[in-house]
């Protein structure tokens, strides 16, 4: 893969060609007049996005956004898959799907949930079956160094079973999954980012995890009919060891999570400060909260042993409830009131402000980072004094992205729009300047956007090129494929004053959140290492069958177009483990391995080792064969497993 220097993109290197196309296209249209030129087109020739006025004017040069054959995309999109429980990687601006990374789901291509290695990561019951077959991924975030992605790791939550998964950036594979103790509805997640200015450490060390659903603590049958006694925990996980370091018990609930650039604060929006159990109860208060965590103080409290534990868990827990944190000078937490059932909290790329979208209020609340620190120093009278703006932006605001030029882009679920607003203008208006208008532009999206994100927008290097709107409904935008429509991800050019809708991409159900990562920041490896596995079969001559009683181990290799054994024989009732190493070293020379009727199917990449264990309970001849087209003799790449009666 060609990695260009930082900041260099197809869009810039191809500027001259596109200028030419752009001008030519405009000249062509000018001859007939803009409007008649468009009207003369048949509908099939000029698909115009409903409600996209710029496109309707015929002024958009779509060629500009095309990724032509042989060209590479400028950005990786790391996207969650919701209840499909995976992560998807696609390219921008093309929208081409590049990979689906299985995480909490099973996947027959990779063999995720089938190989011993993946089962160990996912977790198994004593009988060897998977702990869980389902998951619900919402938020993918990357590891940071110096306030930007370093490409080393990615993390994603499982909302259903409250698990946290790590993806290694070189192979783009999940390498660790942990359970969060006593957590239900693990929703928001964010790695810390730590500026070298204030901290000796300048890379991600912790992952913060929010708990959305309040339950009895521990949830072992006590207090079930007394929701007032239910509790909520906010969890800190060590990024390197993936061990849970501490938890803090709080009032309300935790929805989305954000972290400051200086490593000092994490925060979460709360929609259920009421502690309600029905949606009506959860909507009772006019204001809920954005809750801030003073990380250094929490870690001091943990160190000082001001902790308790919950149930069987050994994780130290500190008290972050309102009553216990009334004195700002010692408080671990700050509850900033914000209207109403907020959804989404995001920090600006300059690290100065948090934008918390109102959801049931047509506002976004802007909270200043420096003022939160001042509150913790006892220098502010009230939590609301940290709020510096609360612009009205539209109906159903959910998530906000930033362009690095002082503008925010918020998804409006109810309005089906993206609204562009300026943070400084919002602050000036809040201070009393009646002449300023914070809202700069609006664009229709199709339809009901959930998350929206900008290129590099959650880093110091926000470049303000694209906004992607992940819409929850696509309705008429894509070919119908039965009752469940694909979702639309719409690509919006945000380089100018006006947002321009430039593409509709389809996305499998059901993405929630993505990060848009400049391609030079991701450095994958194409060849695995024999050292990755302690069981690697390092030479085709080492292929053999070893028996210890009923336990049989088959050592196997693959070199196109053959497996290292043309056959092996086991007996009915044996417990068989097959260890397969792909000795091919050529990039992209991946083999598959499938055994019919034994439900085994996985791939081995070059120099990779994987294993499976199963009971040989069906006598007969079974051709195990390569499932991944690898060679002119790919179909001939098959050998016999003979199971004797
Ligand atoms: S939540 Cu889905 S649209 Cu899980 Cu990030 Cu807001
Ligand atoms: Cu090996 Cu196909
Ligand atoms: Ca509420």
CATH superfamily of 1-179+391-523: YVTN repeat-like/Quinoprotein amine dehydrogenase (2.130.10.10)
Q: What is the DSSP letter of 171?
A: T
The closest residue, in CA terms, to atom 1 on ligand 1 is 512
How far, in Å, is the centroid of ligand 3 from the Cα of 242?
32
Q: How far, in Å, is the centroid of ligand 2 from the Cα of 592?
A: 6
Q: Is 138 in the pocket of ligand 1 (CB under 6 A)?
A: yes
DSSP state of 262: B
CATH class of 183-354+368-388: mainly beta
What's the token pair of residue 544? 């053999």
* Angle, CA of 207, 209 and 212, to the nearest 5°: 170
Closest ligand 2 atom, residue 591 Cα: 1
Whether residue 551 is preceded by a cis peptide bond, meaning omega within 30 degrees of 0, is no
Q: To test the ligand 1 pocket, which listed residue (78, 79, 82, 138) has its Cβ within 8 A of the most ligand atoms?
A: 138
Q: What is the mean pLDDT of each run of 10 residues along the chain (645 residues)?
A: 38 33 33 31 40 58 95 98 97 97 96 98 95 97 96 98 98 98 98 77 95 98 97 98 98 98 96 97 97 98 98 98 98 98 97 97 98 98 98 98 98 98 98 97 97 97 98 94 94 98 94 96 97 98 98 98 98 98 97 98 98 98 98 98 97
Q: How far is the CA of 360 from the centre of ligand 3 (A)?
A: 9
3-state SS of 281-325 is HHCCCCEEEEEEEEHHHHHHHHHCCCCECCCCCCCCEEECCCHHH
Whole-number pLDDT of residue 35: 31
Q: How many angstroms separate the alpha carbon of residue 588 from the centre of ligand 2? A: 11
DSSP structure string for 410-455: EEETTTTEEEEEEHHHHHHHHHT-TT---EEEEEE-SS-EEEEEEB
pLDDT given for residue 200 in this prediction: 80
Please compute Rg for the chain using Cα positions: 27
**Ligand 2 centroid to residue 280 C-alpha, Å:** 57
Q: Is 630 in the pocket of ligand 2 (CB under 6 A)?
A: yes
Q: How far apart are CA 138 and CA 368, in angstroms?
A: 27
In CATH, the architecture of 530-644 is: Sandwich (2.60)
Using the atom order of ligand 1, give the atom closest to the CA of residue 399: 6
Contact present, 89 and 99 (Cβ < 8 Å):
yes
- Which distant-in-sequence residues (6+ apart) come within 8 Å of 171 by Cβ? 524, 525, 528
Query: Are the CB atoms for 359 and 271 separated by under 8 Å?
Result: yes
Domain boundaries, the chain: 1-179+391-523, 183-354+368-388, 530-644
Give me the pLDDT at residue 196, please.
65
Ligand nearest to the CA of 258: 1
Q: Find the 559 Cα to ligand 2 centroid distance in Å.
A: 9
Tokens of 309: 């534990």
629 lines ligand 2 (CB under 6 A): yes
**Ligand 2 proximity of 106 Cβ (cutoff 6 Å):** no
Going from the Cα of 411 to the center of ligand 1, the distance in angstroms, rounded, reads 11
* 256 Cα to the center of ligand 3, angstroms: 14
Pocket test for ligand 1, best of 140, 190, 254, 256 (most atoms within 8 A of CB): 256
Locate 154 and state its tokens. 């990615």
Question: In angstroms, rounded to a whole number, what is the distance separating the alpha carbons of residues 488 and 491?
Answer: 10
Instruction: For residue 342, give the ligand nearest its CA.
Output: 3
Ligand 2 centre from 623 Cα, in Å?
A: 14
Residue 512 CA: which ligand 1 atom is closest?
A: 2
Ligand 2 atom, smallest distance to 558 CA: 1
HEC profile of 24-79: HHHHHHHHHCHHHHHHHCCCCCCCCCCCCHHHHCCCCCHHHHCCCCCCCCCEEEEE
pLDDT at 58: 66
Residue 217 carries which DSSP code?
A: S
Asked if residue 399 has its Cβ within 6 Å of ligand 1, the reply is yes
Give the atom of ligand 1 at the shortest distance from the alpha carbon of 470.
3
- Nearest-atom number in ligand 2 for the CA of 631 is 2
Nearest CA to ligand 1 atom 3: 450
DSSP SS3 for 465:
coil
| Residue tagged 């730590």 (tokens) | 194
Cβ(637) – ligand 2 distance below 6 Å: yes
Distance between CA atoms of 576 and 618, rounded to whole angstroms?
Answer: 12
pLDDT at 501: 97
CB neighbours of residue 127 within 10 Å? 5
- The number of the ligand 1 atom at minimal distance from the alpha carbon of 256 is 5
What distance lies between CA 346 and its chain's CA centroid? 15
| CB-based neighbours (< 5 A) of ligand 3, an ion | 271, 282, 288, 341
Concatenating the DSSP letter of every residue in 474-542 gives -TTSS---SSSPPEEEEEEE-SSSS-EEEEEEEE-S----EEEEEGGG----SS--GGG-TT---SGGG
562 CA → ligand 2 middle, Å: 8
Whether 513 is in the pocket of ligand 1, judged by its Cβ within 6 Å, is yes
C-alpha pair distances (Å), 78 with each of 100, 111, 167: 10, 21, 11
Q: Is the CB of 580 under 6 A from ligand 2?
A: no
Distance CA 638, CA 635 (A): 7
Measuring from atom 4 of ligand 1, which residue has the nearest CA? 138
Burial class (CB in 10 A: 0-12, 13-18, 19+), 286: exposed
50 Cα to the center of ligand 3, angstroms: 35
Handedness of CA 507, 511, 516, 521 (dihedral sign): negative
Q: Which of 476, 362, 461, 555 lies closest to 148, judged by CA? A: 461
What spacing in Å lies between the alpha carbon of 407 and ligand 3's midpoint? 28
Ligand found nearest the CA of 255: 1
pLDDT at position 36 = 30
pLDDT at position 348 is 98
CA 152 to ligand 1 center in whole angstroms: 24
The model carries a pTM of 0.90
CB–CB of 186/159 below 8 Å?
yes
């Amino acid at each position: 893969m060609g990695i260009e220097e930082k900041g260099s993109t197809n869009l810039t290197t191809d500027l001259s060609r596109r200028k030419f196309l752009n001008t030519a296209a405009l000249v062509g249209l000018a001859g007939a007049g803009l409007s008649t030129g468009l009207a003369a087109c048949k509908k099939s020739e000029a698909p115009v996005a409903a409600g996209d006025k710029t496109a309707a004017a015929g002024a958009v040069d779509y060629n500009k956004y095309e990724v032509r054959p042989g060209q590479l995309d400028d950005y990786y999109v790391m996207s969650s898959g919701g209840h499909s429980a995976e992560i998807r990687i696609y390219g921008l601006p093309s929208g081409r799907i590049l990979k689906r990374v299985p995480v909490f789901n099973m996947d027959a291509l990779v063999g995720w949930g089938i190989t011993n290695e993946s089962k160990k990561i996912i977790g198994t019951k004593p009988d060897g079956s998977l702990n869980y077959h389902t998951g619900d991924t919402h938020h993918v975030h990357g590891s940071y160094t110096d306030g930007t992605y370093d490409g080393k790791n990615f993390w994603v939550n499982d909302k259903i079973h409250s698990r946290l998964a790590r993806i290694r950036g070189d192979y783009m594979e999940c390498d660790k999954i942990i359970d969060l103790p006593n957590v239900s509805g693990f929703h928001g997640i964010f790695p810390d980012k730590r500026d070298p200015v204030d901290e000796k450490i300048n890379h991600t060390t912790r992952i913060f995890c929010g708990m959305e659903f309040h339950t009895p603590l521990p949830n072992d049958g006590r207090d079930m009919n007394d929701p007032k006694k239910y509790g909520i925990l906010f969890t800190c996980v060590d990024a390197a060891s993936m061990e849970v370091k501490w938890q803090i018990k709080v009032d309300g609930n935790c929805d989305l999570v954000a972290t400051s650039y200086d490593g000092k604060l994490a925060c979460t929006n709360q929609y259920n400060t009421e502690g309600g159990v029905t949606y009506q109860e959860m909507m009772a208060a006019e204001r809920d909260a954005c809750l801030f965590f003073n990380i250094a103080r929490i870690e001091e409290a943990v160190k000082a042993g001001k902790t308790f534990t919950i149930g069987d868990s050994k994780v130290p827990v500190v008290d972050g409830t309102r009553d216990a944190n009334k004195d700002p000078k010692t408080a671990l937490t700050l509850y900033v009131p914000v209207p109403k059932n907020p959804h989404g909290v995001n920090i600006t790329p300059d690290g100065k402000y948090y934008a918390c979208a109102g959801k049931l209020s047509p506002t976004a609340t802007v909270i200043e980072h420096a003022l939160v620190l001042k509150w913790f120093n006892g220098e502010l009278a009230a939590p609301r004094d940290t709020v510096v703006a609360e612009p009205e932006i539209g109906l159903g605001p959910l998530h906000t992205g930033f362009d690095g030029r002082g503008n925010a882009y918020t998804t409006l679920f109810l309005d089906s729009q993206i609204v562009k607003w300026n943070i400084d203008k919002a602050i000036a208006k809040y201070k009393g300047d009646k002449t300023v208008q914070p809202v700069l532009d609006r664009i229709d999206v199709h339809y009901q956007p959930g998350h929206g994100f900008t290129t590099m927008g959650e880093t110091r290097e926000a470049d303000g090129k694209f906004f992607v709107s992940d819409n929850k409904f696509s309705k008429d935008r894509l070919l119908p494929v039965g009752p469940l429509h694909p979702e639309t991800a719409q690509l919006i050019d945000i380089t100018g004053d006006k947002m321009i809708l430039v593409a509709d991409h389809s996305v499998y159900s059901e993405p929630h959140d993505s990060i848009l990562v400049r391609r030079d920041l991701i450095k994958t490896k194409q060849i695995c290492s024999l050292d990755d596995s302690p069981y690697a079969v390092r030479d085709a001559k080492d292929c053999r069958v070893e028996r210890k009683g009923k336990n049989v181990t088959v050592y196997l290799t693959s070199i196109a177009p053959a497996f290292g054994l043309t056959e092996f024989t086991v007996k009915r009732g044996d417990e068989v483990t097959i260890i397969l190493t792909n000795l091919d070293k050529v990039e992209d020379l991946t083999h598959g391995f499938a055994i019919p009727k034994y439900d085994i199917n996985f791939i081995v990449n070059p120099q990779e080792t994987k294993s499976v264990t199963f009971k040989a309970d069906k006598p007969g001849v079974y051709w195990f064969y390569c499932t991944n087209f690898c060679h002119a003799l790919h179909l001939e790449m098959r050998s016999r497993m003979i199971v004797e009666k």
